[in-house]
Chain A
């Protein structure tokens, strides 16, 4: 589903009210990622939508007494424990990925893509040549954050490859704009969300170029990475091609 300006404009109020299904929401987001013409109207719709909760009758639903205590207890646990565990995101539209062999999610890797990129030592036992090769591609990262702070952006390029990421925090949707060379025979590209230095698979990509949207709670995520994997994907990244940091 590809949306132009007119279709996006018609759906914008419903989008602001969270009334679109996943497919249409993704289409709107993909258009908004490229087109700034709807920013003002969207902001107006959101301003109104943000005040609708005032109409809810707070006397009709009183929070139970234990809710405050439970919240603070959860805060205490999380603020003193390990950093936030990211939940595995779900691709919004990935028909090709659905047909592929499911990627095992149970095993958590011992290290992370960023740790591989940044430190001489790495946890996977992957050859040092990989680290050198990755750096040798001249990967650079640009972290951007817009003025309103509700859309996180990141980008990375290397010769013949580019990755742009926009994460819409309010909607929990990540839109990836990817340009990669076709993978070798028997290989696929796989996207990863990096949280706490650990990669969480976002799934095997349906193609090697274009826009892809993922429903993902990326709270705590620090980067998105693309790796090349055997067909069907891998539990842990083996050959990182690009990593875009927020």
Chain B
């Protein structure tokens, strides 16, 4: 199998056929399929776990547990849903669970900003071309209001509950819920317009 770039920045998105082959391999307990899944998505999984948890040792455990969970759940996977999205959901869930078990103090991250991925290129010629998927998502996020963007950053990328985020932002919990709902709605429409 020739793994595509999971972030889509090489111009070729991860496709359904590739995911299907991986899933079928995992269902057969094919070691090579798990290795290919890791080679394709491991970097992104580790980066996500590290971003949420901030500690590389825990991130290693989370990534390993996530890929093993993916393998165990292979009989129930559907390639149409996108293996990357499914795996990253597992990674995020496990990272957040572990983070909350450890009880990281929300105020410790009050002034942190997410080190988001840099733009793929500043070349104006490339700007005229179709944006990669990563750039589409980045544009959708930066198109949010600062309040909505901060709510997404604190809850998704920092793993905080809306209660903790509300305390940090000094707003009611309902306001955080509303900002998240608006943020995801705006991003969805922006991403739909981009396709």
Contact = CB atoms under 8 A, between A and B. Distances in A.
Interface of A: 10-14, 16-21, 44-64, 67-68, 70-72, 74-76, 78-79, 84, 145, 147-150, 152, 169-172, 217, 219-220
Contacts, number: 190
Interface in B73-87: 73, 76-78, 81-82, 84-86
B149 to A, nearest CB: 11
Which of A10, A47, A54, A64 gathers most chain B CB within 10 Å? A54
Given A14-B162, A149-B76, A19 B137 contact: no
B117 A54 contact: yes
A56 B51 contact: yes
Nearest to A83: B72
A57 B56 contact: no
B174 interface: yes
Nearest to B182: A13
Contact of B93 (A12, A18, A71, A147): A18
26 contacts: A10-B181, A18-B159, A19-B155, A19-B162, A21-B163, A46-B85, A50-B84, A50-B89, A52-B137, A53-B48, A55-B116, A55-B134, A57-B117, A60-B50, A61-B50, A63-B42, A63-B63, A68-B42, A71-B63, A72-B31, A148-B81, A149-B76, A149-B78, A170-B89, A172-B93, A220-B72
A152 B77 CA distance: 12
Nearest to B51: A56
A54 B133 contact: yes
